[in-house]
A and B are shown apart, each in its own frame.
Chain A
Amino acid sequence: MRELTFVEAAREGLAEEMARDPRVFVVGEGIGARGGNFNTTVGLFDLYGEERLRDTPVSERGFTALCTGAAVTGSRPVVDFMFIDFLVDAFGDLFNQTAKLQWMSGGRLKMPIVLRGCVGVASQFGPHHSGNYYPFFLHVPGFRVVMPTTPADAKGLLKTAIRCDDPVLFLEHKNLLNLKGSVPDGEHLVPLGQAVVARRGDGVTIVAIAYMVREALRAAEQLAAEGVDAEVIDPRTLAPLDLDCILESVHKTGRLLVVDEDYAPCGAASEIATQVMERGFDDLDAPVRRLNGAFIPAPYSEALGQGLVPDAAAIARAVRDLLAE
């Protein structure tokens, strides 16, 4: 076991996969010699050069589709968008080509492409650099979506994503990048579609997404002092979702709060709530509650950002309110 930051762990995973498979290459703005705006590729350019660490022009649509074409012809590209907000320009080809080529070709074309980028509200980056956008990829058939919250999971899930023959969104919350945590030695892979119970409890279930897991754990500590024993679940993968893990928890506690920084309408929390309602209706002692970020673009000014995203105090309040149902 070693202590690594989230970024270091992910990078270690990428390095291992690039060493293991010469078909893996990285594409993005500034990921070459500079090592990436978020240090995602530091040290790799020296090992593999520009062919496998390709700095791109500002052509998100272009290089996403280019990597899609590369993926169906035997390469395993990692598209590093830096900020997930930039990926939005590529929506057209992502939904019509990347998501569908495997299906349209009856499985004869594979799509081993990783689409990675940093998500979430942080550091007052403002309206164009604070996005999440992942619900789109839960909604369109063909994608996998993973959002690790620990360094060990960052490494394990990135490796799995690179080895997967499906298009995988690998989303890293900005507030997690410097989080330190234990990372196992040796080969470490985390499977897709497997949630983890970050904190065991039997009083209430909290499913939290990405950075909200950390806030939920802080909230759980506050609540424990009040005699409320919260169980916190980190789904780790949003598509496919480990619903069984959530249902098992709800069966135990009867009450569910889903905390997601992203917007409420048609979001991941809505999907989880609906699935739990469909399959765990009789276990529910109260309606499922969602706690989402404010339904506005992310403001720059601190003053406008109060309550923009849930924090531990807001989560604890939501839990108390849920228990009063």
Chain B
Amino acid sequence: MPFEVTMPRLGWSMEVGTLGAWLKQDGDPVEAGDLLFSVEGDKATQEVEALESGILRIPPNSPPPGRELPVGTVLAYILQPGEIAPFEGPSAARDTLPEPPPVATGPAQPPERTVRSRRDQPAISPRARRAAGELGVDWSALQGSGRSGRIVERDVRQAAREAPARLSPLARRVAGRLGVDVEQLAAAAPGRRLRREDVEAAASPAPLSGVRRLVAERMAASAHTAAAVTLTSEADATELVRLRAQLKADAQPVPAYTDLLAKLVARALTEHPDLNAHLEGEAIVQSSAVNIGIAVDTERGLLVPVLRDVQAKPLRQVAAESAALVERARGGSISPDDLRGGTFTITNLGMYDIDAFTPIINLPECAVLGVGRIVPKQVVVDAGAERLAIRHMAFLSLTFDHRLVDGAPAARFLQRVKQYVEMPYLWLVE
């Protein structure tokens, strides 16, 4: 018979004791005399020794330390070889209650049956199985709420609702690029694993919205309304390149080519004000201020924030403002005011290795300058002397609205811009 380790009476009047701590562990071999546990009695803590040798077995439901217990409460057992702790014997096995029979529903009873499934998987109804397939739910791990544990439809739908949406890495990237709200998409397809196709489907064919629609409307209006003509002129930008390089050595921010061009163009526009005009009803109105819109490519589409009074601002200020505008545009915090009031637009596709192109006029403006890449080329610098040199060349593409401006004035303007590009020090001439 296993020896019972009990709460001892440590004083003749002790009726209860508080178990302090076990000094041996379940399964430890103990010798008679070993200290097993401590007891907090009325007066002091006392350690209690084993009265038998053997293996100490502490039941899982043995009273925990800190509990006040009557003297004589069984705390553990010490087993001899071959003995089994009472809490682990066959008599300790819990009875399982048999399943209640199906409710009698009428004279003809269906035969009682237990739900058996193939291959030890839980049983699942055909409808639930289909739902699991549609929702991408792994039903083999579900608990069924149907009779005998059958997985039924509601179990599958519940699991789908609770499962977070999973995106593939590619899907996540694509969602970011297309501006698809991942959380919204996930909520619409609970538990489903979302792939790139799902994201793309969510993004498109979305109808035109927001920026895209606006751009589309304006481009179409421009293409259908203006009498657009594009003039191209190849400028020798070597000096400009040199100028920028010198400016780089100076304090921040470094003006971008676009900033430099903005200043050059602004100067040219003050000399050729008819290119700084717009149509108001039937009248052509020239602006005194040169507000230059800079075309910016953002995730949401093309935005054209406007640099105001470029003709009046020093280059560095223009550079700083343009940098700020570009940042706001790309960050999505551009305001409508930032986008209004332009009198001329510059669009630079040089960074994409574009040479020349036919930019679309940003109505109601009457002209737009497209800037291509600056590329070293072999050019004739002295035809008479048949001298060649490597120069940094760049195409300037000016689209103008022939309704407002004729070809010659436009050409003259472009020529002036070209001159400024080739001889930037002309600025010094106010």
The answer to A–B direct touch (Cβ < 8 A) is yes
Contacts A294-B107, A321-B102 known; A283 to B152 CB distance under 8 Å? Answer: no
User: In which size bucket is the chain B interface?
Assistant: 10 to 19
Q: Are A292 and B108 neighbours in the complex by a CB distance under 8 Å?
A: yes
Q: CB within 8 Å of B: which of A267-294?
A: 281-286, 289-294
**Residue of B110, B125, B129, B152 with most partner-chain A CB within 10 A:** B125
Question: Given A324-B147, A325-B150, are A293 and B107 neighbors across the interface (CB < 8 Å)?
Answer: yes
| Contact B103 A317, beta carbon cutoff 8 Å | yes
Which residues of A are found within 8 Å of B146, using beta-carbon distances?
Answer: 285-286, 324-325
Per-position 1/0 for B122-135, Cβ under 8 A of A: 00011111100000
**B115-126: contact bitstring with A at CB < 8 Å (1 yes, 0 no)?**
000000000011
- Of A292, A309, A321, most buried by chain B (CB within 10 Å of CB) is A321
Interface presence of A154 (CB below 8 A): no
In the complex the two chains form, is B103's CB within 8 Å of A321's CB? yes
**CA of A287 to CA of B146 in the docked complex: distance in angstroms?**
11
Give Cα A122–Cα B105 distance, bound, in whole angstroms.
21
Q: A289-B110, A324-B147, A325-B146 are in contact. Are A282 and B105 (CB under 8 A)?
A: no
CB distance from B420 to the nearest CB of A (A): 76
* Cβ contacts A58-69/B at 8 Å (1 or 0 each): 000000000000
Contact B125 A295 (CB under 8 A): no
Q: Say how far B90's CB is from chain A's closest CB, in angstroms.
A: 35
In this assembly, does A200 line the interface, its C-beta being within 8 Å of a C-beta of chain B? no
Q: Smallest CB–CB gap between A265 and chain B, Å? A: 10
CA distance A200 to B103 in the complex (A): 26
> A254-B153, A325-B150 known; A317 and B130 CB under 8 Å?
no
Chain B residue with Cβ nearest A314:
B106
Q: A321-B102, A325-B146 are in contact. Are A285 and B107 (CB under 8 A)?
A: no
Chain B at the A interface: SS class: loop
Check A292 against B128 for contact (C-beta < 8 Å): no
Q: Does A320 contact B (CB under 8 A)?
A: yes
Bound CA span A273–B152, Å:
19
A window 293-315: CB within 8 A of B = 293-295, 307-310, 314-315
Interface assignment of A161: CB less than 8 Å from any CB of chain B: no
User: Please, which residue of chain B has its CB at the minimum distance from the CB of A265?
Assistant: B108
Return the contact of B105 from the options A291, A293, A295, A309 (Cβ within 8 A). Answer: A291
Q: Which residues of A contact B106 (CB under 8 A)?
A: 291-292, 307, 310, 314-315, 317-318
Hey, which chain B residues are within 8 Å of A286, CB to CB?
A: 125, 146, 150, 152
- CB-CB under 8 A from A321, the residues of chain B are 102-103, 105
Quick check: B105 and A285 within 8 Å, CB to CB? no
Residue of A with least CB distance to B146: A325
In chain B between 49 and 88, which residues have their CB closer than 8 angstroms to a CB of chain A? none
Docked complex Cα distance between A290 and B128 (Å): 22
Asked if B153 and A291 sit within 8 Å, CB to CB, the answer is no
**Residue A189, interface by CB 8 Å:** no
A292–B105 CA distance with the chains assembled, in angstroms: 10
Nearest residue, chain B, Cβ from A264 = B108
Q: Judge whether B105 and A318 touch: CB under 8 Å.
A: yes
B173 CB to closest chain A CB (Å) equals 37
Which residues of B145-165 have CB atoms within 8 Å of chain A's CB atoms?
A: 146-147, 150, 152-153
Contact (Cβ within 8 A) A284 B105 = no
Please report the C-alpha to C-alpha distance between residue A16 and residue B129 in the assembled complex, in whole angstroms: 53
Residues of A within 8 A of B (CB): 254, 264, 281-286, 289-295, 307-310, 314-315, 317-318, 320-321, 324-325
| Complex A-B, nearest 7 residue pairs according to Cβ-Cβ distance, in ascending order | A294-B107, A314-B106, A285-B127, A318-B105, A317-B105, A292-B108, A307-B107
Give 27 A-B contacts (CB < 8 Å), ordered by A residue: A254-B125, A254-B127, A264-B108, A282-B126, A282-B127, A283-B127, A283-B130, A284-B125, A284-B126, A285-B127, A285-B146, A285-B153, A290-B108, A290-B110, A293-B107, A293-B108, A295-B107, A295-B108, A307-B106, A309-B107, A314-B105, A314-B106, A317-B105, A321-B102, A321-B105, A325-B146, A325-B147
Q: Which residues of B contact A (CB under 8 A)?
A: 102-108, 110, 125-130, 146-147, 150, 152-153
